Amino acid sequence: MTLARFLTDTAEDIDLAAQTLAAGELLGLPTETVYGLAADALQASAVAQVFQRKGRPADHPLIVHVGETSQVFDFASEVPDFALALMQAFWPGPLTLILPRLPGVAEAAAGGHPTIALRCPSHPLAQKVLQKANVLGVKGVAAPSANLFGRVSPTTALHVREAFAHLMVIDGGSCQVGIESAIVDASQGEPMLLRPGMLTVAALSAVAGREVRPIGKPKEASPLHAVPAAPGLLPSHYAPRARVRLMDAADIASMAPSFQGALAVWAREPLALPAHVHVKTMPSQAADCAHALFADLRLLDAQRVEEIWVQTPPDGDAWAGVHDRLQRAAA
């Protein structure tokens, strides 16, 4: 079997991509966060292929991508005012909202749960495909990251091909954001941040008009907010083949000379390391670091090292998404 060709931004290729989804087949779709393994969210057989190809448990819900805000009502039974405000401010963009699901709609994509995860991506090619597919009756596209379950997310079309050699993929270049979207639960009256991304808690709270509490930070004087099923919450996720360790720069420098085995280091600070250590510089700004994170982990892992030592990122709201991905990669 020959490799599937990469699609481009031509009208013919956009039409072909939309037709592929409408026919119940899978597609590699670029977004501003990571590349997705896309299927028509309302075709249960197509969604089943996504779970099977990724090796993903069928009860682990998928994010459904829509082309515009009005399509949310094809999937959600209720949208609170603060969720509408978040959509107006951050869609299209790297924000997913968990909402109550319309009964009988997209049950397979939701993993059988009563809620649905919805996002409107900003990548121009994703927008073109979603709009064209909508004309063909595809109201939303389930698109988890286009990689094997639990492994490093793809941020280029070539990364997708490494996992799915015969999948048709739209080449949209390198993903601008580079890590998955922030996920806010809006299904229980008060917003909760289930997964951090590159939208800060401060920015989300300012728009929502109330505090968007990170998971694990219960609201005082009220029942605990039950955590709904959502993507990307497993303790171990986004992992390369090599073991990932988060370490202080001083520990990396002091321990590397005695490490017995092939080693790679991803650090912000210049370190005096043995010549055999594979070194790549971690960007010093949070947005740049997020953009490079998965691509750099893949490059270092390709060196066939046993371990990748990562300098622990700085604290702060802007770095929360990077911290989350690295902690899960190291789990």
229: pLDDT strictly greater than 80: no
CATH architecture under which domain 243-330 falls:
3-Layer(aba) Sandwich (3.40)
Max Cα–Cα distance, the chain, nearest Å? 61
The two three-digit tokens of residue 46, written as one number: 């197509």
CA 240/CA 326 separation, integer angstroms: 11
For 319, residues 6+ apart whose C-beta sits below 8 A from its C-beta are 286, 289, 313
pLDDT of the residue at 175? 98
CA 328/CA 221 separation, integer angstroms: 31
User: How does residue 308 score in pLDDT terms, banded at 50, 70 and 90?
Assistant: very high
| pTM for the predicted model, two decimal places | 0.94
On whether the CB atoms of residues 147 and 237 are closer than 8 A, the answer is no
Portion of the chain with pLDDT greater than 90, in percent: 90
pLDDT of the residue at 102? 98
Instruction: Say if residue 233 is exposed, middle or buried (CB neighbours under 10 Å; 0-12, 13-18, 19+).
Output: middle
Q: Of 183, 190, 199, which Cα lies nearest the Cα of 119?
A: 183
How is 103-122 classified by DSSP, letter by letter? TTSSTTTTTT-SEEEEE---
User: How does residue 122 score in pLDDT terms, banded at 50, 70 and 90?
Assistant: very high
pLDDT of the residue at 226? 59
CA 204/CA 192 separation, integer angstroms: 10
CA 220/CA 36 separation, integer angstroms: 38
User: How does residue 262 score in pLDDT terms, banded at 50, 70 and 90?
Assistant: very high
Average pLDDT, the chain: 94
- 159-195 burial, b if ≥16 CB within 10 A, otherwise e? bbbbbbeebbbbbbeebbbbbbbbbbbbbbebbbbbb
Q: Where are the domains of the chain?
A: 6-214, 243-330
**Single-letter amino acid, residue 159:** H
pLDDT of the residue at 189? 87
User: How does residue 2 score in pLDDT terms, banded at 50, 70 and 90?
Assistant: low
User: How does residue 196 score in pLDDT terms, banded at 50, 70 and 90?
Assistant: very high
pLDDT of the residue at 218? 40
Superfamily for domain range 6-214? DHBP synthase (3.90.870.10)
Q: Edge-to-edge strand order for the sheet containing 307-311?
A: 243-247, 307-311, 263-267, 278-281
pLDDT of the residue at 227? 61
User: How does residue 283 score in pLDDT terms, banded at 50, 70 and 90?
Assistant: very high
Q: Of 34, 65, 48, 27, which Cα lies nearest the Cα of 141?
A: 65
pLDDT tens digits for 135-187?
Answer: 999 999 999 999 999 999 999 999 999 999 999 999 999 999 999 999 999 99
**Single-letter amino acid, residue 78:** E
pLDDT of the residue at 5? 77
Q: Of 82, 86, 80, 36, which Cα lies nearest the Cα of 62?
A: 36
Compute CA distances 260 → 17, 240, 256, 309, whole Å.
48, 20, 9, 14
pLDDT of the residue at 230? 83
